Chains A and B, each alone.
Chain A
Amino acid sequence: MFKTFIAGILLGIAGAAAALYYVPVVNQSREHSLIVVHPNQGNTETFHINVPMDRILVGVPGQQEPLPVGLQWPEDVRFAGTRAELFKIRNGKDAVVGVASRLAASDDVSGDIIEWVFHFPSRGSAYVAMEAAPREEGYRIGELRTGTREFEPLTGIVTERWITDTSGLEDAPAGRIEIITAFEAKEMEGEE
């Protein structure tokens, strides 16, 4: 019986080790990536943010109705020219796939800056610097500065555009921010 007990101990140790090795502790939920591959032109992916439903934070000094309710945004004069926003971001099927931050600021050293960070938990993050002024067509273009995991080896551009909702539906959003990414692999050194 003692030998059985010892065998049980060894079995328990081996079983616990095997379970911790083979069973993932974290398994992020994923949506299909809806990427359109263009011949010799990299690929594009379209995301959107429904406004106001997907807004988590609008950080601007002196708001009459802060979002979220109860937000106490710093009134420090240093942050007078800063607007910080947090959103949920959706894919082409209207499923939430990540979160995003948008910082718009202006100062003497940096000039006017508009930046996004897109964070997709199962894929990685992308850091994008936009042009300060929108194009005549109503969209703004930005450049992928750097990324993590899936986005680290990529380069390319991102566009943002406001699209007002015209559906007239009662529960429709006021509009959406459309984000289109056009990324391709970085060229390696020495590659033609």
Chain B
Amino acid sequence: MKYLISLILGMVVGVAAFLALLYYNPMTAQNKLSPLSVSDNDVITFNFSAVATDTLVYTNDGESNVTPHPVKVLQLWEPTVRRTDAMATVLRDGRNQAAAIGIKFSSDSERTNILNSEAIVDSVWHIYVPGQGSLFIEQQENFWSYLREIVIPAHWSSANNWRGSWSGNTTSGPGALDTARVVGGSGVFAGLETGGVESLNAKAYAVEGGAVAMDGKLAIELPRSDEELTPDP
């Protein structure tokens, strides 16, 4: 009997040690430097609040910790869309002026691999910039650092929240340099194929309700007109 108890205790310690190694793995630090920061090209940025109540519309399955907004919005409860969020928001330019309408769909990805510190979300943006045109952005986002440094500490906190300062890029592909794929649809963006990066800047998070003070930023590289438009492989 004592051998069985010893084996079970050992297994519990082994599982705990393995999970601790994954959680504290220093090799998976968040990349805070945008790949676009070393680009010679122009970069346009759109800023938005990542707090659900600041959006025009935010909806999910209605059972997640983030409450849909407005309260009576249709929820995505069907099995095929249960792990999907939809958001429509106003995107602001560098002078904090309303510049565009952005719609974002995000779905938990089956490529999520905790062993590789990858909590992947497949997301797309559909953006219209009045007077300029429309854009489509495809990206994989890795929320591992966000989960590790904000969400889990918030659950561990006796107050069920997290406060601090965290910033990082969520975009992790499909571009080789961890960039999103941006495709222009109309207007001045027609024919454009370039890269982009989405990042988050968080200051407060609550277990009930999600982000409390959090801003998002979309940076899109605009190749010079004399440069051949080639997508990031």
Within 8 A of A (CB), among B109-137: 109-110, 112-115, 122, 124, 126, 128, 130-134, 136
Question: Besides A9-B10, A12-B11, A56-B86, 17 other CB < 8 A contacts?
Answer: A1-B2, A5-B7, A8-B11, A12-B15, A13-B15, A20-B114, A55-B74, A59-B57, A84-B88, A84-B103, A86-B57, A103-B101, A103-B128, A103-B134, A109-B187, A129-B186, A146-B136
Known A1-B3, A115-B126, A145-B183: A109·B136 in contact at CB below 8 Å:
no
Contacting pair A113 B186 (CB below 8 A): yes
Name B's interface SS.
mixed
Contacting pair A8 B9 (CB below 8 A): yes
CA distance A52 to B99 in the complex (A): 29
**By CB atoms of chain B within 10 A, which of A1, A6, A148 has the most?**
A148
Scan A134-150; emit 1 where CB is below 8 A from any B CB, else 0: 00000000000110110
Residues on B lying within 8 angstroms of A by beta carbon are 2-3, 6-19, 56-57, 59, 70-74, 76, 78-84, 86, 88, 90, 98-99, 101, 103, 105, 107-110, 112-115, 122, 124, 126, 128, 130-134, 136, 138, 183, 185-188
Contacting pair A71 B98 (CB below 8 A): no
Known A68-B57, A70-B70, A78-B98: A12·B124 in contact at CB below 8 Å:
no
A188 is an interface residue with CB less than 8 A from chain B: no
